[in-house]
Structure 1
Amino acid sequence: MSDGPDLWRPDSRAWRHTTKQQLAAWRYGHAVKNRSFDLLVVGGGLSGVAAAVAASRRGTRCAIIEESHMLGGQASTSAVAAFDITFAYEVLLNGYGLWGEIVDRLRIVYDSLGLAMNTARYRDDSLAANPVIIDRVLGEMVKEAGVSVFRRSKVLDAGTARVGVSVDTDRGVFSGKYVVDATEDGALLPLLGADHRVGNLVFRDGDLGAGSADRVSIQDITQAVTVQYYPGGLPDDLRVPEPPRYMQFRREFLGTYPYDPSGARVSDRGFAGYRATPDLSGRVAYTGSQWEQVTRTSLNYLNDFPVQASYLLDKDRQLQDDRQATLKTLALLHFLQQEVGAPWSVATDEGFAAITRPRRFADLVQFENVLKHFPPRVYMRESRRGIGIDTLTAKSIFRHKNRTPARWYSDVVAVGTYPPDLHGGRAEEDLEDDLDETFLDKPTTWREGPFGIPSGCLIHAGIPSLLLAEKNISVSRIVAGATRLHPTVVGIGEAVGTLASISIRTDSHPTEVSSLQIQTSLLRNGAFPFHSAIKGLERTDSDFATVALAVIRELVPTFQADCAVGERVLGVERGVARTIGKDILNGAASWDK
């Protein structure tokens, strides 16, 4: 069954929807010589890819260092592929920037396959994709941008020099002027001795200070997995025997699965519509409202596993908790197969078993035919967070009513729209006293709406060569519950890559780069860090940058405009905005491309 005591052999079913270019990239694992770049991005998730593409398109020599064989992070290697979006901001989220480009490219692929992307949450305005397709699209983007990508590269150490930073990997040493921590867990921060937060604890100068990491809760982890409905019956090799702790986990599933979270959709596919993804097997094409036809979904509901801050600090503890989270998801699969009698098991064609990779848990050999099709990582909702020039707190993103913006400032470089959604670590004592944060700062009802992220949250306060992306930016725990979502981490990555490229090109420290410089470059490349879309203004318009700049700097009045999709959009006197924005852009010619 395996190539050796610690390895799984590839499964050809996992290659079914890959391109030759993907397979070549996944298999490439040869040692490389020491390499030097302008910018190193550690972590090839959504935020890391966005940072690298943004920087490279602006002329910066950039490399991505990624431990797994796939790009996409939470959306691929953690199988959270039904995108977490806020439905009232279709144009604002999907119409601009690199996130808009990613969505457009994914749609082109799915159109060619005769499949829809709007498959999740029982809604036809949802967005979902498959890990293998997400990796394909991101791989094409980094290749076109000229980014050097080093997959299957494990970071061993990192350090700062008089000028720049070095990252030691199992494939050699990489050096750069700047490095971006875009890992899923903030792994670079302790290696660099950077001040950072873990839960409500603060690490300064490598010292934890008062507090015990075993008594501090952080957000739950989830071993998500993409599963397939097999109408002809379960393949024998994909049946899940009863796992350890089954009876304990079973109590959480009873009365809920296989129905939807509200209990209203009574069917062995009721739960599936919640996180439904397109079915690459081609058996059926469906949309979110056609949940009774769903044949592929992600198990990412009621299989959360609680963890403490020690999860991020102790590798042995992390392995133990990952094993428990995996057992819980195996228990859910066993429950669906044996007690519900539904033919659900792992999808075998998402690319996870396409290469030889380490067996994750040596004592779970009896499950390996299923486990090798699990994604390589659990979904971590909370990571280490760097301490930046600015720290965004819950008071700054507070929305007084649902679907209204937070207080806005003209120095915003990225935008979030999600409410502060904490899965675990929800007690008052889990929050940060030093940030004067309490649960009065977290609404008890669902309140989504745009909020701004300033560049100071992306710049580490103590290490000049370190920039922050993904879930590792300088925010409070409550805010981290709102910034971890797919579109937001892409916007963060795009902003930090833009910041890095300006710093390198102008030989300036990131703190010397103004928000106006970052915004100007973002706008010229189709991003739009603002709280509302502008009616009729598209990122491909020739006057997009000039009009948008005048708007986001609040130099022209705006007014409420009607929009067919029901989204709050603004109108502007376009000619006036174009003139004002053009004057600013002309003055920016010396430092922006």
Structure 2
Amino acid sequence: MNADVLVIGAGIGGTLAALSAARMGKSVILTEETDWIGGQLTAQAVPPDEHPWIESFGCTATYRQFRNRLRDYYRTHYPIREEARGDALLNPGSAWVSRLSHEPKVAKKLLEDMIQPYLSNGQITLLLETKPVSVEVMGDQITSVTVKKKGKTLDIAGAYVLDATECGDLLPLAGAEYRVGAESKDMTGEPHALDTYRPGDMQSFTQVFALQYDPEGSHTIDKPLMYEHWKSYQASFLEHLQLSWDIPDADTGKSKRFRMFNDGEELGLWQYRRVIDANLFEEGFFKGDLSLINWPQNDFWEGAIVDVPEEVRQDRLYQAKQLSLSLLYWLQTEAPRDDGGFGYPGLKLRPDIVGTEDGIAKHPYIRESRRIEALETVVEQDINADYSPYKGVRKRKNSIGIGAYRIDLHPTTETNRLFYAPSYPFEIPLGALIPKRLKNLIPACKNIGCTHLTNGCMRVHPVEWNIGESAGALAAFAIDHKASLLSIHENADLTWAFQQKLEHLGVALHWPEVGIL
């Protein structure tokens, strides 16, 4: 199979890369290893992490449309109460970590709607349950990618190849220069980089699951096989058990206590990523709230799943699932209740919400990927407000998009460090999307030219969306202008022309002065 552009991975970045390339008239082959497009929003079951200005500024036009359509979908299709229906900032889950917390399947439907016209006219060919297995390279040019779908292999080729896999899986297959894990100070010059390079020191990942709360019911699962292990597990860097209401506090490095439910003064973890607040809908329509459980208690930091033998990877995925199921069993049976006593047996696993049989999301929530060695690398000093020499947003003449989030590292897999820093919003340089050597490979999600530290704010939903959208447009622009990626980067006129195309597509390139996160 052949197309103008190959996009390997249909998470947020990959889906938007395919959409923007198609909008610019190009044919696209889009592959995805699960049977759902949408990545973090859908298969990983993580509602949006966003910056505080998102309702008015700081995202692409298509991301704004997506957010508006999400709210409209609930208003149109659900029996929502009139006072909630009229809320311009409707949050279906009334979550406190996300301004628009929603069910994964609703996001999946809306993303499918966005690319459906291009599926219908044949510009996008979507191959689900398809993984890359090898890459053919000649003269620093990728000539084809071999993918496997249900045991059968297929060779696909295109003028440009975009790696939008969750872990940057195409990079080692193509022999691309990349980094993984925590760089050293010598490599990046970052104040908080490690003294030595530790490629195995990556952010923890999470196996998310969906729950409904039925206070009158009893839905306790069978005791997980590793429950006794996780029940007594205490990481050496923490002063509390993993399964407890104490969670690590990145600001202090110590523990911070939470509770199950909001009580008016203290925040509860149940509402943290709640996606359905039953009180917003007609009485009795939902028999209880729905919440996606992506809490510090089920972060898995006992080892990375990138660049390790497959048997090690599978074992760690299994352990992480057991951790999530053990958290559920603890919540149902032994967790100290807000009102006294122990356990909430009314917590009901909802496999249908995440589209799986075991109730665990289709794909683990990946916070950190392999990252290309790029022409430009975004480093801590560009973003960390305490160390930035720019005293505000670093303005990029060659910006291809914007983002904002505090540099936020969950406990890592070797040094177990947490990191949380006050940050300026940032502008993404064109060179972060261009590898140092390979001529037709473009990263399209968390695998751009950033570091272990700055990945901590590049990984969030609106940023990955922007990266994917700009990456797809870059491939199409290069084809239209018969220009290499290097020439677009080095030629100011070509850079400006590409930026004009991005602005036409609705990609904002620069921040106003908005302050520090």
The change in CA–CA distance for 1:240 and 1:311 in structure 2 (over 3 A counts) is: farther
**Preserved CA contact (<8 Å) 1:273 1:294:** no
CA distance in 1, matches of 2:207, 2:363: 7
Counting only pairs closer than 5 Å after superposition, residues 161-176 of structure 1 correspond to structure 2 as 161=138, 164-171=142-149, 172-176=154-158
Residues in 1 aligned to 2:412 and 2:31: alpha-carbon distance in whole angstroms: 31
Structure-2 residue corresponding to 1:344: 347
Q: Residue in 1 aligned with 2:180?
A: 198
| C-alpha distance 40-385 of structure 1, shift in aligned 2 (>3 A) | same
Tell me, yes or no, if the aligned pair for 1:224 and 1:378 is still in contact at 8 Å.
Answer: yes
Q: Residue in 2 aligned with 1:588?
A: none
Residues 161, 110 of structure 1: alpha-carbon distance in 2 compared, 3 angstrom cutoff: farther
Q: 21, 31, 42: which one pairs with 1:55?
A: 21
1:345 Cα deviation from its structure 2 partner: 2.6
Q: Report the equivalent of 1:29.
A: none
Q: Which has the larger displacement, 457-466 or 269-278?
A: 269-278
Cα distance in 2, alignment partners of residues 266 and 233 from structure 1: 22
Whole-Å separation in 2 of the counterparts to 1:70 and 1:396: 35
Matched residues in 1 for 2:368 and 2:177: separation?
17
Partner residue in 1 for 2:477: 502
Q: Identify the match of residue 252 of structure 1 among 239, 242, 248.
A: 242
Counterpart in 2 of 1:112? 76
User: For 1:109, what is the secondary structure of its paired residue?
Assistant: helix
Q: SS of the residue aligned with 1:138?
A: helix
Q: Which whole-Å deviations, capped at 9, do the CAs of 1:217-242 have from their partners, x for residues lacking one?
A: 2101111112111345145xx62424
Task: After TM superposition, give the deviation of residue 270 of structure 1 in Å.
Answer: 2.9
Q: Distance in 2 between matches of 1:111 and 1:471?
A: 33
Unaligned runs of at least 5 residues, structure 2: 85-89, 185-195, 235-240, 248-255, 282-286, 335-342, 489-493
The answer on whether the counterparts of 1:398 and 1:406 sit within 8 Å (CA) in structure 2 is no
The answer to whether structure 1 residue 98 and structure 2 residue 62 are counterparts is: yes
1:483 alignment partner, one of 425, 450, 458: 458
Cα separation, 2, equivalents of 1:459 and 1:71: 25
Shift of 1:284: 4.5
Deviation at 1:377, TM superposition (A): 1.5
1:87–1:125 Cα contact (<8 Å) kept: no
Instruction: Summarize the Cα distance change of 1:127–1:261 in structure 2 as closer, same or farther, 3 Å threshold.
Output: farther
CA distance in 1, matches of 2:392, 2:7: 31
Q: Which moved more, 1:496-505 or 1:242-251?
A: 242-251
The yes-or-no answer on 1:274 pairing with 2:272 is yes
Matched to 1:222, the amino acid is T
- What residue number does 1:300 align with? 294
Structure 1 residues 300, 105: CA separation in 2 closer, same or farther (over 3 Å shift)?
A: same
State the partner residue of 1:528: 508
- Preserved CA contact (<8 Å) 2:179 2:372: yes
2:498 paired with 1:518:
yes
The 5-angstrom pairing of residues 292-331 of structure 1 reads: 295-302=289-296, 303-308=298-303, 311-331=306-326
The 1-side partners of 2:197 and 2:430 are apart by: 32
1:421 equivalent in structure 2: 408
TM-score (norm 1): 0.69
Deviates more, 1:458-467 or 1:483-492: 458-467
What is the rounded CA distance, in whole Å, between the counterparts of 1:193 and 1:129 in structure 2? 39
Unaligned runs of 5+ in 1: 1-34, 203-210, 287-292, 354-368, 432-438, 533-559, 561-566, 569-593
1:168 is paired with a residue of what secondary structure? strand
Partner amino acid, structure 2, of 1:375: A
* Structure ranking higher in helix proportion: 1
Aligned residue number for residue 241 of structure 1? 223
Whether 1:383 and 2:369 are equivalent positions in the alignment is yes
Are the aligned partners of 2:203 and 2:412 in contact in 1 as well (CA < 8 Å)? yes
- Check conservation: 1:413, 1:452, Cα contact below 8 A: yes
In the alignment, which residue of structure 2 is the partner of 1:393? 379
Give secondary structure in 2 for the equivalent of 1:470. coil
Which residue of the other structure, out of 68, 74, 78, is the alignment partner of 2:34?
Answer: 68
C-alpha displacement at 1:262, in angstroms? 4.3
Higher mean displacement: 498-507 or 302-311: 302-311
Deviation (angstroms), 1:524: 1.0
- Structure 2 counterpart of 1:519, which letter? Q
- Counterpart code for 1:277: V
| Matched-pair contact (CA < 8 Å) for 1:412–1:529 | yes
**Separation in 2, partners of 1:422, 1:222:** 13
* Count of aligned residue pairs for this structure pair: 450
Compute the displacement of 1:459 (Å).
Answer: 1.1
Equivalent residues in 2 for 1:1-80, closer than 5 Å: 35-80=1-46
The alpha carbon displacement at 1:119 in A equals 4.5
Q: Confirm or deny: 8 A CA contact 1:43 1:182 kept in the other structure.
A: yes
Q: Is the 8 A contact 1:42 1:64 kept in 2?
A: yes
Q: CA deviation at 1:110?
A: 1.6
CA distance in 2, matches of 1:272, 1:47: 29
Structure 1 residue 83 displacement after superposition = 1.0
Q: Is the 8 A contact 1:47 1:489 kept in 2?
A: yes
- Inter-CA distance 515–231: structure 2 relative to 1 (3 Å threshold): farther
Structure 1 residues 502 and 219, CA gap change in structure 2 (3 angstroms): same
CA distance in 2, matches of 1:448, 1:110: 33
- Deviations 1:511-539 (Å, cap 9, x if unpaired)? 2223322221111122212113xxxxxxx
Structure 1 residue 111, shift from structure 2 partner: 1.6
Match of 1:227 in 2: 211
Whole-angstrom distance in 2 between the partners of 1:147 and 1:212: 40
Partner of 1:187: 169
Which one of the candidate residues 83, 87, 102 is aligned to 1:129? 102
1:54–1:494 Cα contact (<8 Å) kept: yes
User: C-alpha offsets along residues 336-361 of structure 1, whole Å, 9 cap, x if unaligned?
Assistant: 111222411322332523xxxxxxxx
- Using the alignment, how far apart are the partners of 1:479 and 1:73 within structure 2? 20
| Range that drifts further, 217-226 or 120-129 | 120-129
Aligned counterpart, 1:450:
425
Retained in 2: the 8 A contact 1:198–1:309? Answer: no
CA contact (8 A) 1:119 1:126 kept: no
* Residue identity matched to 1:167: V
Matched residue of 2:211: which SS?
Answer: strand
Partners of 1:225 and 1:124 lie apart in 2 by 17
RMSD: 3.3
Q: 1:107 to 1:120 in 2, by over 3 A?
A: closer
Cα separation, partners in 2 of 1:471 and 1:125, compared to 1, 3 Å: closer
- What is the one-letter code of the residue matched to 1:177? A
SS class of match (1:87): coil
Amino acid in structure 1 at the alignment position of 2:22: S
Alpha carbons of 1:119 and 1:269: their partners in 2 closer, same or farther (altered >3 Å)?
A: farther
Report SS of the residue matched to 2:57: helix
1:456-508 CA-partner distances (Å, limit 9, x unpaired): 11111111010012111111111111100000000011111111110011111
Please state if 1:374 is matched with 2:360. Answer: yes
- 1:248 shift after superposition: 2.1
1:265 paired with 2:262, answer yes
Contact 1:78 1:376 in 2 (8 A): yes
Question: Mean alpha-carbon deviation: is it higher for 178-187 or for 243-252?
Answer: 243-252
The Cα shift of 1:127 comes to: 1.2
Corresponding residue SS for 1:68? coil
The 8 Å contact of residues 40 and 63 in structure 1, kept in 2 or not, is answered as yes
| Correspondence for 2:399 | 412
Shift of 1:159: 1.8
